[in-house]
Amino acid sequence: MSVTEEKLIKGCQKGKREYQQALYDKYCDGMFLVALRYSKAQQEAEDILQEAFIKVFKNIKNFRKDSSLAYWIKRIVVNTALNHQRSKLYLYPMVDVNDLDDWSTKESVISGMGYEELLQLIRELPTGCQVIFNLFAIEGYKHHEIAEKLQISEGTSKSQYSRAKSLLVEKVTQRDKLRYGSGEL
């Protein structure tokens, strides 16, 4: 079904299944990648995506067109993922940002990675680090916004982000050692 976004929205607001299917088909792949960034496994991402689209269809009558439809759907997916992960955040130890190494000397280690490879490494992070890294580095939230959204302190957000970066550098370094050997000639 090829229709304009306006017709797609109106059809979904009326509860028409063919328009809901068309909307899902149009956005599911991109939104699955968003859900995948916040999950540990594909099945978890699929659950997040399903729950998010249920919310989309239930709330599309409230879509005010203040932003693009894709952005509105993405916010629902992110919030659904956060709700899904929120209870897990407190199961992991928090690290003080002052106890971590300086990131600036290590930042270039990750810059040459492909998306899929980086996504896999992000998914291997502890849940708290994973969620905060996604919100700050990928979604563009500020630490005070993350703190408010997750009901944590701004310092906790900063320390978890710093810890995530350090863990990613460690993972990349380990991966490179396995891939290229010790580097000695």
- Measure the CA–CA gap between 12 and 45, rounded to whole angstroms: 23
Give the residue from 55, 86, 117 where a domain finishes: 86
What CATH number did the domain enclosing 138 receive?
1.10.10.10
- Residue-wise pLDDT for 106-145, tens only, equals 444 455 567 778 888 888 899 889 999 989 988 899 999 9
Is residue 107 in a domain? yes
Considering the domain architecture, whether residues 68 and 15 belong to the same structural domain is answered as: yes
What CATH number did the domain enclosing 68 receive?
1.10.1740.10
Considering the domain architecture, whether residues 116 and 154 belong to the same structural domain is answered as: yes
Considering the domain architecture, whether residues 28 and 47 belong to the same structural domain is answered as: yes
Considering the domain architecture, whether residues 82 and 101 belong to the same structural domain is answered as: no
Give the percent of the chain with pLDDT over 70: 82
Is residue 92 in a domain? no
- Measure the CA–CA gap between 12 and 6, rounded to whole angstroms: 10
Structural domain tally of the chain?
2
42-58 average pLDDT score: 95
| Pick from 39-43, 112-116, 131-135, 172-176: least confident | 112-116
Is residue 159 in a domain? yes
- Residue-wise pLDDT for 86-101, tens only, equals 766 554 444 444 444 4
Q: What pLDDT sits at residue 111?
A: 52
Calculate the average pLDDT of the chain: 83
Considering the domain architecture, whether residues 78 and 104 belong to the same structural domain is answered as: no
User: Any alpha helices (H) in the chain, and if so which ranges?
Assistant: 5-13, 17-37, 42-59, 69-89, 115-123, 127-133, 143-150, 154-180
Give the residue from 31, 51, 86 where a domain finishes: 86
Give the residue from 34, 65, 86 where a domain finishes: 86
Considering the domain architecture, whether residues 138 and 169 belong to the same structural domain is answered as: yes
Host domain of residue 15: 5-86
Considering the domain architecture, whether residues 18 and 79 belong to the same structural domain is answered as: yes
